[in-house]
Structure 1
Protein backbone atom coordinates (compact mmCIF):
# COMPACT_ATOMS: atom_id res chain seq x y z
CA UNK A 1 0.00 0.00 0.00
CA UNK A 2 2.80 2.42 0.89
CA UNK A 3 4.55 1.90 -2.44
CA UNK A 4 1.29 2.37 -4.31
CA UNK A 5 0.61 5.69 -2.56
CA UNK A 6 4.13 6.93 -3.36
CA UNK A 7 3.73 5.86 -6.99
CA UNK A 8 0.40 7.61 -7.27
CA UNK A 9 1.79 10.78 -5.72
CA UNK A 10 4.63 10.77 -8.27
CA UNK A 11 2.11 10.25 -11.08
CA UNK A 12 0.15 13.26 -9.83
CA UNK A 13 3.11 15.61 -10.46
CA UNK A 14 3.01 15.56 -14.31
CA UNK A 15 -0.79 15.58 -14.24
CA UNK A 16 -0.73 18.67 -12.01
CA UNK A 17 1.84 20.42 -14.20
CA UNK A 18 0.00 19.59 -17.42
CA UNK A 19 -3.42 20.61 -16.09
CA UNK A 20 -2.22 23.88 -14.59
CA UNK A 21 -0.29 24.79 -17.74
CA UNK A 22 -3.36 24.23 -19.91
CA UNK A 23 -5.44 26.32 -17.51
CA UNK A 24 -2.80 29.05 -17.61
CA UNK A 25 -2.92 29.04 -21.43
CA UNK A 26 -6.71 29.16 -21.52
CA UNK A 27 -6.89 32.04 -19.07
CA UNK A 28 -4.22 33.85 -21.08
CA UNK A 29 -6.35 33.31 -24.20
CA UNK A 30 -9.36 35.06 -22.61
CA UNK A 31 -7.88 38.41 -23.59
CA UNK A 32 -5.68 41.15 -22.24
CA UNK A 33 -6.23 41.33 -18.45
CA UNK A 34 -5.07 44.94 -18.29
CA UNK A 35 -7.67 46.00 -20.86
CA UNK A 36 -10.34 44.04 -18.99
CA UNK A 37 -9.33 45.74 -15.75
CA UNK A 38 -10.18 49.19 -17.13
CA UNK A 39 -13.40 48.10 -18.83
CA UNK A 40 -14.60 50.44 -21.59
CA UNK A 41 -11.98 53.06 -20.78
CA UNK A 42 -8.66 52.39 -22.45
CA UNK A 43 -5.66 52.92 -20.10
CA UNK A 44 -2.85 55.20 -21.09
CA UNK A 45 0.23 53.49 -22.49
CA UNK A 46 2.44 54.19 -19.46
CA UNK A 47 -0.07 52.75 -16.96
CA UNK A 48 -0.71 49.70 -19.13
CA UNK A 49 3.02 49.04 -19.50
CA UNK A 50 3.58 49.39 -15.74
CA UNK A 51 0.77 46.93 -14.93
CA UNK A 52 1.99 44.42 -17.51
CA UNK A 53 5.48 44.58 -16.05
CA UNK A 54 4.13 44.26 -12.48
CA UNK A 55 2.11 41.13 -13.29
CA UNK A 56 4.75 39.69 -15.72
CA UNK A 57 2.34 40.05 -18.63
CA UNK A 58 5.09 41.47 -20.83
CA UNK A 59 6.93 38.12 -20.79
CA UNK A 60 6.31 34.98 -22.92
CA UNK A 61 3.51 32.71 -21.69
CA UNK A 62 5.83 29.82 -20.77
CA UNK A 63 7.98 32.17 -18.68
CA UNK A 64 4.90 33.63 -17.01
CA UNK A 65 3.86 30.10 -16.08
CA UNK A 66 7.27 29.22 -14.62
CA UNK A 67 7.39 32.42 -12.59
CA UNK A 68 3.84 31.89 -11.38
CA UNK A 69 4.38 28.26 -10.33
CA UNK A 70 7.63 29.21 -8.63
CA UNK A 71 5.71 31.73 -6.53
CA UNK A 72 2.97 29.19 -5.75
CA UNK A 73 5.46 26.74 -4.26
CA UNK A 74 6.46 29.51 -1.84
CA UNK A 75 2.81 30.12 -0.90
CA UNK A 76 2.41 33.24 -3.04
CA UNK A 77 -0.62 33.00 -5.35
CA UNK A 78 -0.20 36.53 -6.56
CA UNK A 79 -2.33 39.62 -6.13
CA UNK A 80 -5.74 40.18 -7.67
CA UNK A 81 -6.27 43.29 -9.73
CA UNK A 82 -8.34 44.79 -6.90
CA UNK A 83 -5.22 44.78 -4.72
CA UNK A 84 -6.19 41.85 -2.45
CA UNK A 85 -3.86 38.84 -2.22
CA UNK A 86 -5.31 35.75 -3.88
CA UNK A 87 -4.48 33.74 -0.74
CA UNK A 88 -6.82 36.02 1.19
CA UNK A 89 -9.61 35.35 -1.31
CA UNK A 90 -8.87 31.61 -1.10
CA UNK A 91 -8.98 31.65 2.71
CA UNK A 92 -12.35 33.39 2.57
CA UNK A 93 -14.01 31.39 -0.22
CA UNK A 94 -12.79 27.79 0.19
CA UNK A 95 -14.23 27.19 3.71
CA UNK A 96 -17.63 28.45 2.52
CA UNK A 97 -17.65 26.20 -0.57
CA UNK A 98 -16.33 23.30 1.53
CA UNK A 99 -19.28 23.61 3.93
CA UNK A 100 -21.66 23.81 0.98
CA UNK A 101 -20.03 20.74 -0.56
CA UNK A 102 -20.35 18.80 2.72
CA UNK A 103 -24.08 19.51 2.90
CA UNK A 104 -24.53 18.44 -0.72
CA UNK A 105 -22.36 15.29 -0.50
CA UNK A 106 -24.06 14.07 2.71
CA UNK A 107 -27.44 14.57 1.06
CA UNK A 108 -26.25 12.64 -2.01
CA UNK A 109 -24.75 9.76 -0.01
CA UNK A 110 -27.61 9.24 2.44
CA UNK A 111 -30.64 9.76 0.23
CA UNK A 112 -29.09 8.67 -3.08
CA UNK A 113 -27.77 5.33 -1.84
CA UNK A 114 -30.93 4.55 0.15
CA UNK A 115 -33.17 5.27 -2.84
CA UNK A 116 -30.83 3.30 -5.11
CA UNK A 117 -30.89 0.24 -2.85
CA UNK A 118 -34.67 0.37 -2.38
CA UNK A 119 -35.37 0.69 -6.11
CA UNK A 120 -32.74 -1.89 -7.01
CA UNK A 121 -34.28 -4.48 -4.70
CA UNK A 122 -37.78 -3.63 -5.99
CA UNK A 123 -36.98 -3.48 -9.67
CA UNK A 124 -40.03 -3.01 -11.87
CA UNK A 125 -42.39 -2.16 -9.03
CA UNK A 126 -44.23 1.11 -8.43
CA UNK A 127 -41.55 2.55 -6.13
CA UNK A 128 -38.84 1.83 -8.69
CA UNK A 129 -40.78 3.45 -11.54
CA UNK A 130 -41.69 6.51 -9.44
CA UNK A 131 -38.12 7.15 -8.32
CA UNK A 132 -36.74 6.71 -11.85
CA UNK A 133 -39.27 9.20 -13.20
CA UNK A 134 -38.45 11.66 -10.41
CA UNK A 135 -34.72 11.43 -11.15
CA UNK A 136 -35.37 12.13 -14.82
CA UNK A 137 -37.41 15.22 -13.91
CA UNK A 138 -34.62 16.50 -11.64
CA UNK A 139 -31.99 15.94 -14.33
CA UNK A 140 -34.14 17.67 -16.97
CA UNK A 141 -34.91 20.85 -14.98
CA UNK A 142 -32.03 23.38 -14.97
CA UNK A 143 -30.45 24.18 -11.63
CA UNK A 144 -31.26 27.89 -11.82
CA UNK A 145 -34.97 27.06 -12.21
CA UNK A 146 -35.01 24.75 -9.18
CA UNK A 147 -32.89 27.19 -7.18
CA UNK A 148 -34.92 30.31 -7.85
CA UNK A 149 -38.21 28.42 -7.34
CA UNK A 150 -37.21 27.06 -3.94
CA UNK A 151 -35.68 30.40 -2.99
CA UNK A 152 -38.96 32.16 -3.78
CA UNK A 153 -41.32 29.73 -2.04
CA UNK A 154 -39.20 28.85 1.02
CA UNK A 155 -37.54 32.23 1.46
CA UNK A 156 -40.01 34.82 0.21
CA UNK A 157 -43.47 33.24 0.39
CA UNK A 158 -43.10 31.01 3.47
CA UNK A 159 -40.20 32.80 5.19
CA UNK A 160 -38.66 29.53 6.41
CA UNK A 161 -35.14 30.39 5.23
CA UNK A 162 -33.21 33.51 4.31
CA UNK A 163 -33.49 34.20 0.56
CA UNK A 164 -29.80 35.15 0.54
CA UNK A 165 -27.00 33.59 2.57
CA UNK A 166 -25.08 35.87 4.92
CA UNK A 167 -21.34 36.48 4.27
CA UNK A 168 -20.37 34.08 7.11
CA UNK A 169 -22.43 31.29 5.47
CA UNK A 170 -23.14 29.07 8.52
CA UNK A 171 -24.28 25.48 8.02
CA UNK A 172 -27.96 26.19 8.77
CA UNK A 173 -28.14 28.76 5.96
CA UNK A 174 -26.47 26.37 3.50
CA UNK A 175 -29.01 23.54 3.82
CA UNK A 176 -31.33 24.72 1.02
CA UNK A 177 -28.47 25.75 -1.33
CA UNK A 178 -26.77 22.43 -0.57
CA UNK A 179 -29.90 20.50 -1.51
CA UNK A 180 -30.21 22.47 -4.75
CA UNK A 181 -26.54 21.83 -5.53
CA UNK A 182 -26.90 18.11 -4.82
CA UNK A 183 -30.13 17.37 -6.67
CA UNK A 184 -28.69 16.50 -10.08
CA UNK A 185 -25.84 14.46 -8.57
CA UNK A 186 -28.35 12.82 -6.23
CA UNK A 187 -30.33 11.64 -9.23
CA UNK A 188 -27.21 10.13 -10.82
CA UNK A 189 -26.14 8.47 -7.54
CA UNK A 190 -29.61 6.94 -7.18
CA UNK A 191 -29.63 5.57 -10.71
CA UNK A 192 -26.03 4.35 -10.48
CA UNK A 193 -26.66 2.59 -7.16
CA UNK A 194 -29.84 1.00 -8.51
CA UNK A 195 -28.07 -0.31 -11.62
CA UNK A 196 -25.19 -1.70 -9.57
CA UNK A 197 -27.56 -3.39 -7.09
CA UNK A 198 -29.56 -5.00 -9.91
CA UNK A 199 -26.39 -6.34 -11.57
CA UNK A 200 -24.81 -7.68 -8.37
CA UNK A 201 -28.04 -9.21 -7.09
CA UNK A 202 -27.61 -11.94 -9.73
CA UNK A 203 -23.97 -12.64 -8.77
CA UNK A 204 -22.88 -16.06 -7.49
CA UNK A 205 -21.68 -14.77 -4.13
CA UNK A 206 -25.15 -13.36 -3.38
CA UNK A 207 -26.84 -16.65 -4.25
CA UNK A 208 -24.31 -18.48 -2.09
CA UNK A 209 -24.98 -16.19 0.86
CA UNK A 210 -28.72 -16.70 0.49
CA UNK A 211 -28.25 -20.49 0.20
CA UNK A 212 -26.29 -20.49 3.46
CA UNK A 213 -29.37 -19.09 5.17
CA UNK A 214 -27.94 -15.67 6.03
CA UNK A 215 -30.53 -13.02 6.96
CA UNK A 216 -31.67 -10.86 4.06
CA UNK A 217 -30.49 -7.68 5.77
CA UNK A 218 -26.98 -9.08 6.23
CA UNK A 219 -26.83 -10.28 2.63
CA UNK A 220 -27.84 -6.80 1.45
CA UNK A 221 -25.55 -4.73 3.68
CA UNK A 222 -22.47 -6.96 4.05
CA UNK A 223 -22.33 -8.54 0.59
CA UNK A 224 -24.55 -6.88 -2.01
CA UNK A 225 -24.24 -3.22 -1.01
CA UNK A 226 -20.53 -3.30 -0.27
CA UNK A 227 -19.60 -4.53 -3.73
CA UNK A 228 -22.20 -2.35 -5.42
CA UNK A 229 -20.73 0.85 -3.96
CA UNK A 230 -17.51 0.80 -6.01
CA UNK A 231 -18.91 2.68 -9.05
CA UNK A 232 -20.83 4.99 -6.72
CA UNK A 233 -17.68 5.86 -4.78
CA UNK A 234 -15.89 6.56 -8.07
CA UNK A 235 -18.62 9.01 -9.05
CA UNK A 236 -18.70 10.67 -5.63
CA UNK A 237 -14.91 11.13 -5.65
CA UNK A 238 -15.07 13.03 -8.92
CA UNK A 239 -18.16 14.89 -7.74
CA UNK A 240 -16.33 16.41 -4.75
CA UNK A 241 -14.24 18.60 -7.04
CA UNK A 242 -17.23 19.29 -9.27
CA UNK A 243 -19.32 20.48 -6.32
CA UNK A 244 -16.49 22.75 -5.15
CA UNK A 245 -15.96 24.29 -8.59
CA UNK A 246 -19.34 23.89 -10.25
CA UNK A 247 -21.49 25.72 -7.72
CA UNK A 248 -21.40 28.96 -9.73
CA UNK A 249 -25.15 28.99 -10.45
CA UNK A 250 -26.16 28.02 -6.90
CA UNK A 251 -23.77 30.50 -5.31
CA UNK A 252 -25.00 33.29 -7.58
CA UNK A 253 -28.66 32.56 -6.75
CA UNK A 254 -28.14 32.59 -2.98
CA UNK A 255 -25.33 35.20 -2.98
CA UNK A 256 -22.81 32.76 -1.50
CA UNK A 257 -19.32 34.20 -1.84
CA UNK A 258 -17.52 30.91 -2.31
CA UNK A 259 -15.24 29.45 -4.97
CA UNK A 260 -17.87 29.56 -7.74
CA UNK A 261 -18.64 33.20 -7.00
CA UNK A 262 -14.95 34.19 -7.05
CA UNK A 263 -14.35 32.28 -10.31
CA UNK A 264 -17.33 33.98 -11.93
CA UNK A 265 -16.16 37.41 -10.85
CA UNK A 266 -12.59 36.64 -11.93
CA UNK A 267 -13.63 35.47 -15.41
CA UNK A 268 -16.06 38.37 -15.82
CA UNK A 269 -13.34 40.89 -15.02
CA UNK A 270 -10.54 38.93 -16.75
CA UNK A 271 -8.80 38.78 -13.36
CA UNK A 272 -6.29 36.10 -14.33
CA UNK A 273 -4.42 35.83 -10.97
CA UNK A 274 -7.71 35.04 -9.20
CA UNK A 275 -8.92 32.54 -11.81
CA UNK A 276 -5.61 30.67 -12.08
CA UNK A 277 -5.10 30.63 -8.30
CA UNK A 278 -8.51 29.13 -7.59
CA UNK A 279 -8.30 26.60 -10.41
CA UNK A 280 -4.84 25.42 -9.27
CA UNK A 281 -6.32 24.65 -5.83
CA UNK A 282 -9.27 22.86 -7.45
CA UNK A 283 -6.89 20.70 -9.51
CA UNK A 284 -5.20 19.64 -6.27
CA UNK A 285 -8.60 18.83 -4.74
CA UNK A 286 -9.51 16.66 -7.76
CA UNK A 287 -6.21 14.77 -7.58
CA UNK A 288 -6.40 14.13 -3.83
CA UNK A 289 -10.06 13.06 -4.05
CA UNK A 290 -9.27 10.54 -6.79
CA UNK A 291 -6.35 9.15 -4.76
CA UNK A 292 -8.63 8.67 -1.73
CA UNK A 293 -11.22 6.93 -3.93
CA UNK A 294 -8.60 4.49 -5.23
CA UNK A 295 -7.54 3.67 -1.67
CA UNK A 296 -11.16 3.20 -0.64
CA UNK A 297 -11.60 0.48 -3.28
CA UNK A 298 -9.49 -1.88 -1.17
CA UNK A 299 -11.73 -1.23 1.84
CA UNK A 300 -14.93 -1.98 -0.09
CA UNK A 301 -13.64 -4.98 -2.04
CA UNK A 302 -11.17 -7.29 -0.23
CA UNK A 303 -10.17 -8.81 -3.58
CA UNK A 304 -8.42 -5.53 -4.49
CA UNK A 305 -4.86 -5.31 -3.21
CA UNK A 306 -2.30 -2.61 -3.93
CA UNK A 307 1.36 -3.56 -4.10
Structure 2
Protein backbone atom coordinates (compact mmCIF):
# COMPACT_ATOMS: atom_id res chain seq x y z
CA UNK A 1 0.00 0.00 0.00
CA UNK A 2 2.80 2.40 0.90
CA UNK A 3 4.60 1.80 -2.39
CA UNK A 4 1.35 2.32 -4.29
CA UNK A 5 0.71 5.64 -2.55
CA UNK A 6 4.28 6.77 -3.23
CA UNK A 7 3.95 5.84 -6.89
CA UNK A 8 0.65 7.69 -7.20
CA UNK A 9 2.16 10.78 -5.57
CA UNK A 10 5.01 10.69 -8.09
CA UNK A 11 2.51 10.37 -10.92
CA UNK A 12 0.76 13.49 -9.66
CA UNK A 13 3.83 15.63 -10.34
CA UNK A 14 3.63 15.66 -14.18
CA UNK A 15 -0.17 15.92 -14.01
CA UNK A 16 0.09 18.91 -11.68
CA UNK A 17 2.74 20.60 -13.84
CA UNK A 18 0.80 20.02 -17.06
CA UNK A 19 -2.52 21.17 -15.65
CA UNK A 20 -1.14 24.28 -13.99
CA UNK A 21 0.84 25.24 -17.11
CA UNK A 22 -2.25 24.97 -19.31
CA UNK A 23 -4.27 27.00 -16.81
CA UNK A 24 -1.50 29.59 -16.59
CA UNK A 25 -1.29 29.94 -20.39
CA UNK A 26 -5.06 30.08 -20.90
CA UNK A 27 -5.64 32.68 -18.17
CA UNK A 28 -2.89 34.96 -19.41
CA UNK A 29 -4.03 34.50 -23.01
CA UNK A 30 -7.45 36.03 -22.22
CA UNK A 31 -6.05 39.52 -22.63
CA UNK A 32 -3.74 42.10 -21.15
CA UNK A 33 -4.29 42.03 -17.35
CA UNK A 34 -2.89 45.55 -16.97
CA UNK A 35 -5.36 46.93 -19.53
CA UNK A 36 -8.17 45.07 -17.76
CA UNK A 37 -7.10 46.63 -14.47
CA UNK A 38 -7.79 50.12 -15.83
CA UNK A 39 -11.12 49.19 -17.40
CA UNK A 40 -12.29 51.46 -20.22
CA UNK A 41 -9.58 54.02 -19.53
CA UNK A 42 -6.26 53.75 -21.33
CA UNK A 43 -3.44 53.15 -18.81
CA UNK A 44 -0.59 55.58 -18.53
CA UNK A 45 2.36 54.04 -20.46
CA UNK A 46 4.82 54.56 -17.59
CA UNK A 47 2.42 53.08 -15.01
CA UNK A 48 1.62 50.17 -17.30
CA UNK A 49 5.34 49.46 -17.79
CA UNK A 50 5.96 49.47 -14.02
CA UNK A 51 3.05 47.10 -13.41
CA UNK A 52 4.20 44.71 -16.13
CA UNK A 53 7.68 44.64 -14.63
CA UNK A 54 6.29 44.15 -11.12
CA UNK A 55 4.13 41.16 -12.16
CA UNK A 56 6.74 39.83 -14.66
CA UNK A 57 4.31 40.36 -17.54
CA UNK A 58 7.13 41.72 -19.70
CA UNK A 59 8.73 38.26 -19.89
CA UNK A 60 7.82 35.24 -22.05
CA UNK A 61 5.01 33.06 -20.74
CA UNK A 62 7.27 30.09 -19.96
CA UNK A 63 9.54 32.30 -17.84
CA UNK A 64 6.51 33.72 -16.02
CA UNK A 65 5.34 30.18 -15.30
CA UNK A 66 8.71 29.05 -13.95
CA UNK A 67 8.91 32.10 -11.71
CA UNK A 68 5.36 31.49 -10.50
CA UNK A 69 6.07 27.80 -9.89
CA UNK A 70 9.15 28.62 -7.85
CA UNK A 71 7.18 31.09 -5.74
CA UNK A 72 4.26 28.77 -4.92
CA UNK A 73 6.62 26.16 -3.47
CA UNK A 74 7.55 28.79 -0.91
CA UNK A 75 3.91 29.60 -0.19
CA UNK A 76 3.86 32.76 -2.30
CA UNK A 77 0.93 32.71 -4.73
CA UNK A 78 1.55 36.25 -5.86
CA UNK A 79 -0.25 39.51 -5.24
CA UNK A 80 -3.64 40.46 -6.59
CA UNK A 81 -3.94 43.66 -8.56
CA UNK A 82 -5.65 45.34 -5.62
CA UNK A 83 -2.47 44.85 -3.55
CA UNK A 84 -3.70 41.97 -1.35
CA UNK A 85 -1.66 38.75 -1.27
CA UNK A 86 -3.47 35.89 -2.98
CA UNK A 87 -2.68 33.62 -0.02
CA UNK A 88 -4.68 36.02 2.15
CA UNK A 89 -7.68 35.74 -0.16
CA UNK A 90 -7.34 31.95 -0.05
CA UNK A 91 -7.22 31.95 3.74
CA UNK A 92 -10.56 33.73 3.82
CA UNK A 93 -12.30 31.92 0.94
CA UNK A 94 -11.29 28.25 1.19
CA UNK A 95 -12.58 27.63 4.75
CA UNK A 96 -15.99 29.00 3.73
CA UNK A 97 -16.18 26.88 0.59
CA UNK A 98 -14.90 23.86 2.52
CA UNK A 99 -17.75 24.19 5.04
CA UNK A 100 -20.23 24.60 2.18
CA UNK A 101 -18.78 21.52 0.46
CA UNK A 102 -19.05 19.41 3.64
CA UNK A 103 -22.72 20.33 4.04
CA UNK A 104 -23.48 19.60 0.39
CA UNK A 105 -21.59 16.30 0.54
CA UNK A 106 -23.46 15.30 3.69
CA UNK A 107 -26.80 15.90 1.94
CA UNK A 108 -25.65 13.88 -1.07
CA UNK A 109 -24.52 10.92 1.03
CA UNK A 110 -27.43 10.95 3.48
CA UNK A 111 -30.32 11.40 1.06
CA UNK A 112 -28.78 10.24 -2.21
CA UNK A 113 -27.63 6.86 -0.89
CA UNK A 114 -30.85 6.17 1.04
CA UNK A 115 -33.13 7.08 -1.86
CA UNK A 116 -30.93 5.15 -4.27
CA UNK A 117 -30.95 1.99 -2.14
CA UNK A 118 -34.71 2.13 -1.57
CA UNK A 119 -35.37 2.78 -5.25
CA UNK A 120 -32.98 0.01 -6.37
CA UNK A 121 -34.52 -2.57 -4.04
CA UNK A 122 -38.03 -1.59 -5.22
CA UNK A 123 -37.18 -1.42 -8.89
CA UNK A 124 -40.27 -1.03 -11.06
CA UNK A 125 -42.52 -0.22 -8.09
CA UNK A 126 -44.32 3.05 -7.47
CA UNK A 127 -41.67 4.35 -5.08
CA UNK A 128 -38.99 3.72 -7.70
CA UNK A 129 -40.97 5.65 -10.30
CA UNK A 130 -41.54 8.54 -7.86
CA UNK A 131 -37.85 8.80 -6.99
CA UNK A 132 -36.80 8.75 -10.65
CA UNK A 133 -39.38 11.44 -11.45
CA UNK A 134 -38.24 13.68 -8.59
CA UNK A 135 -34.57 13.37 -9.53
CA UNK A 136 -35.38 14.14 -13.15
CA UNK A 137 -37.22 17.31 -12.11
CA UNK A 138 -34.28 18.42 -9.94
CA UNK A 139 -31.81 17.83 -12.78
CA UNK A 140 -34.01 19.74 -15.24
CA UNK A 141 -34.39 22.88 -13.11
CA UNK A 142 -31.33 25.20 -13.22
CA UNK A 143 -29.52 25.85 -9.96
CA UNK A 144 -30.10 29.61 -10.07
CA UNK A 145 -33.87 29.01 -10.24
CA UNK A 146 -33.79 26.67 -7.23
CA UNK A 147 -31.53 29.07 -5.33
CA UNK A 148 -33.47 32.25 -5.93
CA UNK A 149 -36.78 30.48 -5.22
CA UNK A 150 -35.52 29.10 -1.90
CA UNK A 151 -34.01 32.47 -1.03
CA UNK A 152 -37.28 34.31 -1.69
CA UNK A 153 -39.68 31.94 0.08
CA UNK A 154 -37.48 30.81 3.00
CA UNK A 155 -35.66 34.09 3.50
CA UNK A 156 -38.06 36.85 2.45
CA UNK A 157 -41.56 35.41 2.77
CA UNK A 158 -41.18 33.02 5.73
CA UNK A 159 -38.14 34.57 7.43
CA UNK A 160 -36.65 31.17 8.32
CA UNK A 161 -33.18 32.25 7.16
CA UNK A 162 -31.21 35.34 6.22
CA UNK A 163 -31.46 35.96 2.46
CA UNK A 164 -27.73 36.73 2.40
CA UNK A 165 -25.03 34.87 4.29
CA UNK A 166 -22.85 36.93 6.65
CA UNK A 167 -19.10 37.27 5.98
CA UNK A 168 -18.39 34.73 8.77
CA UNK A 169 -20.51 32.12 6.91
CA UNK A 170 -21.38 29.99 9.93
CA UNK A 171 -22.54 26.40 9.50
CA UNK A 172 -26.13 27.29 10.38
CA UNK A 173 -26.21 29.91 7.62
CA UNK A 174 -24.85 27.49 5.01
CA UNK A 175 -27.45 24.73 5.41
CA UNK A 176 -29.88 26.03 2.77
CA UNK A 177 -27.13 27.09 0.30
CA UNK A 178 -25.48 23.70 0.86
CA UNK A 179 -28.75 21.93 0.04
CA UNK A 180 -29.21 24.00 -3.12
CA UNK A 181 -25.63 23.27 -4.16
CA UNK A 182 -26.09 19.55 -3.51
CA UNK A 183 -29.46 19.03 -5.21
CA UNK A 184 -28.25 18.26 -8.74
CA UNK A 185 -25.41 16.02 -7.53
CA UNK A 186 -27.80 14.42 -5.04
CA UNK A 187 -30.09 13.47 -7.93
CA UNK A 188 -27.19 11.90 -9.83
CA UNK A 189 -26.00 10.01 -6.73
CA UNK A 190 -29.54 8.68 -6.24
CA UNK A 191 -29.83 7.46 -9.82
CA UNK A 192 -26.31 6.01 -9.82
CA UNK A 193 -26.89 4.17 -6.54
CA UNK A 194 -30.24 2.90 -7.74
CA UNK A 195 -28.73 1.46 -10.94
CA UNK A 196 -25.81 -0.16 -9.11
CA UNK A 197 -28.07 -1.66 -6.43
CA UNK A 198 -30.51 -3.03 -9.00
CA UNK A 199 -27.72 -4.68 -10.99
CA UNK A 200 -25.92 -6.23 -8.01
CA UNK A 201 -29.18 -7.45 -6.45
CA UNK A 202 -29.35 -10.10 -9.18
CA UNK A 203 -25.72 -11.21 -8.74
CA UNK A 204 -24.79 -14.78 -7.75
CA UNK A 205 -23.16 -13.79 -4.46
CA UNK A 206 -26.39 -12.16 -3.30
CA UNK A 207 -28.41 -15.30 -4.05
CA UNK A 208 -25.76 -17.34 -2.21
CA UNK A 209 -25.95 -15.08 0.84
CA UNK A 210 -29.75 -15.36 0.90
CA UNK A 211 -29.54 -19.15 0.49
CA UNK A 212 -27.22 -19.33 3.51
CA UNK A 213 -29.99 -17.81 5.62
CA UNK A 214 -28.49 -14.37 6.21
CA UNK A 215 -30.98 -11.70 7.20
CA UNK A 216 -32.15 -9.23 4.56
CA UNK A 217 -30.60 -6.26 6.39
CA UNK A 218 -27.21 -8.03 6.63
CA UNK A 219 -27.29 -8.98 2.96
CA UNK A 220 -28.16 -5.42 1.98
CA UNK A 221 -25.64 -3.55 4.15
CA UNK A 222 -22.75 -6.03 4.29
CA UNK A 223 -22.78 -7.37 0.74
CA UNK A 224 -25.09 -5.51 -1.63
CA UNK A 225 -24.45 -1.91 -0.58
CA UNK A 226 -20.72 -2.34 -0.06
CA UNK A 227 -20.15 -3.71 -3.56
CA UNK A 228 -22.49 -1.16 -5.12
CA UNK A 229 -20.70 1.87 -3.68
CA UNK A 230 -17.63 1.81 -5.94
CA UNK A 231 -19.17 3.83 -8.83
CA UNK A 232 -20.85 6.14 -6.30
CA UNK A 233 -17.58 6.76 -4.45
CA UNK A 234 -15.91 7.53 -7.79
CA UNK A 235 -18.55 10.17 -8.52
CA UNK A 236 -18.38 11.65 -5.01
CA UNK A 237 -14.59 11.89 -5.18
CA UNK A 238 -14.75 13.94 -8.37
CA UNK A 239 -17.64 15.93 -6.94
CA UNK A 240 -15.53 17.26 -4.04
CA UNK A 241 -13.57 19.53 -6.34
CA UNK A 242 -16.64 20.40 -8.37
CA UNK A 243 -18.55 21.47 -5.25
CA UNK A 244 -15.72 23.79 -4.20
CA UNK A 245 -14.98 25.26 -7.62
CA UNK A 246 -18.42 25.07 -9.18
CA UNK A 247 -20.36 26.90 -6.48
CA UNK A 248 -20.14 30.22 -8.32
CA UNK A 249 -23.90 30.46 -8.92
CA UNK A 250 -24.84 29.42 -5.39
CA UNK A 251 -22.29 31.73 -3.79
CA UNK A 252 -23.45 34.64 -5.93
CA UNK A 253 -27.12 34.10 -5.00
CA UNK A 254 -26.50 33.91 -1.24
CA UNK A 255 -23.56 36.37 -1.20
CA UNK A 256 -21.10 33.75 0.06
CA UNK A 257 -17.56 35.03 -0.30
CA UNK A 258 -15.92 31.70 -0.98
CA UNK A 259 -13.82 30.24 -3.78
CA UNK A 260 -16.52 30.64 -6.43
CA UNK A 261 -16.99 34.29 -5.49
CA UNK A 262 -13.25 35.02 -5.70
CA UNK A 263 -12.93 33.21 -9.04
CA UNK A 264 -15.86 35.17 -10.44
CA UNK A 265 -14.36 38.47 -9.30
CA UNK A 266 -10.94 37.48 -10.62
CA UNK A 267 -12.27 36.56 -14.07
CA UNK A 268 -14.50 39.64 -14.21
CA UNK A 269 -11.58 41.97 -13.41
CA UNK A 270 -8.97 39.92 -15.33
CA UNK A 271 -7.12 39.48 -12.03
CA UNK A 272 -4.82 36.74 -13.32
CA UNK A 273 -2.81 36.06 -10.13
CA UNK A 274 -6.03 35.41 -8.20
CA UNK A 275 -7.51 33.07 -10.82
CA UNK A 276 -4.30 31.09 -11.35
CA UNK A 277 -3.62 30.80 -7.62
CA UNK A 278 -7.08 29.53 -6.74
CA UNK A 279 -7.22 27.09 -9.67
CA UNK A 280 -3.77 25.73 -8.76
CA UNK A 281 -5.02 24.80 -5.28
CA UNK A 282 -8.18 23.29 -6.80
CA UNK A 283 -6.01 21.09 -9.04
CA UNK A 284 -4.27 19.76 -5.92
CA UNK A 285 -7.67 19.09 -4.30
CA UNK A 286 -8.80 17.12 -7.37
CA UNK A 287 -5.62 15.02 -7.37
CA UNK A 288 -5.79 14.24 -3.65
CA UNK A 289 -9.51 13.42 -3.88
CA UNK A 290 -8.82 10.95 -6.69
CA UNK A 291 -6.05 9.33 -4.63
CA UNK A 292 -8.43 8.98 -1.67
CA UNK A 293 -11.05 7.37 -3.93
CA UNK A 294 -8.54 4.81 -5.19
CA UNK A 295 -7.61 3.89 -1.62
CA UNK A 296 -11.29 3.53 -0.69
CA UNK A 297 -11.73 0.96 -3.45
CA UNK A 298 -9.64 -1.53 -1.46
CA UNK A 299 -11.73 -0.86 1.66
CA UNK A 300 -15.03 -1.41 -0.15
CA UNK A 301 -13.97 -4.42 -2.26
CA UNK A 302 -11.65 -6.96 -0.59
CA UNK A 303 -10.72 -8.33 -4.01
CA UNK A 304 -8.83 -5.13 -4.80
CA UNK A 305 -5.28 -5.15 -3.53
CA UNK A 306 -2.55 -2.61 -4.21
CA UNK A 307 0.93 -4.04 -4.47
Q: Normalization by structure 2: what TM-score?
A: 1.00
Give the count of matched residue pairs: 307
Q: Residues of 1 paired with 2:107 and 2:40: CA distance?
A: 44
Aligned residue runs from structure 1 range 1-307, under 5 A: 1-307=1-307
Partner SS state of residue 57, structure 2: coil
4+ aligned runs moved over 2 Å, structure 1: none
Q: Residues of 2 paired with 1:41 and 1:237: CA distance?
A: 45
Q: Cα deviations across residues 199-222 of structure 1 (Å, max 9, x unaligned)?
A: 100111100000001000000000
Partner SS state of residue 27, structure 2: helix
Segments of structure 2 that go 5 or more residues without pairing to the other structure are: none
Q: Residues of 2 paired with 1:82 and 1:209: CA distance?
A: 64
Q: Residues of 2 paired with 1:151 and 1:214: CA distance?
A: 48
Partner SS state of residue 107, structure 2: helix
Partner SS state of residue 105, structure 2: helix
Partner SS state of residue 161, structure 2: coil
Q: Residues of 1 paired with 2:91 and 2:265: CA distance?
A: 16
Q: Residues of 2 paired with 1:272 and 1:187: CA distance?
A: 35
Q: Cα deviations across residues 216-236 of structure 1 (Å, max 9, x unaligned)?
A: 000000000000000000000
How far residue 44 of structure 1 moved from its aligned partner, in angstroms, is: 0.9
How far residue 30 of structure 1 moved from its aligned partner, in angstroms, is: 1.0
Q: Residues of 1 paired with 2:141 and 2:26: CA distance?
A: 30
Q: Residues of 2 paired with 1:30 and 1:266: CA distance?
A: 12
Q: Cα deviations across residues 124-181 of structure 1 (Å, max 9, x unaligned)?
A: 1111001101101100100000000000000000000000000000000000000000
Q: Residues of 1 paired with 2:127 and 2:58: CA distance?
A: 62
Segments of structure 1 that go 5 or more residues without pairing to the other structure are: none
Q: Residues of 1 paired with 2:29 and 2:144: CA distance?
A: 28
Partner SS state of residue 81, structure 1: coil
Q: Residues of 2 paired with 1:108 and 1:154: CA distance?
A: 21
Q: Residues of 2 paired with 1:234 and 1:298: CA distance?
A: 13
Q: Residues of 1 paired with 2:195 and 2:62: CA distance?
A: 46
Partner SS state of residue 168, structure 1: coil
How far residue 252 of structure 1 moved from its aligned partner, in angstroms, is: 0.1
Q: Residues of 2 paired with 1:54 and 1:65: CA distance?
A: 15
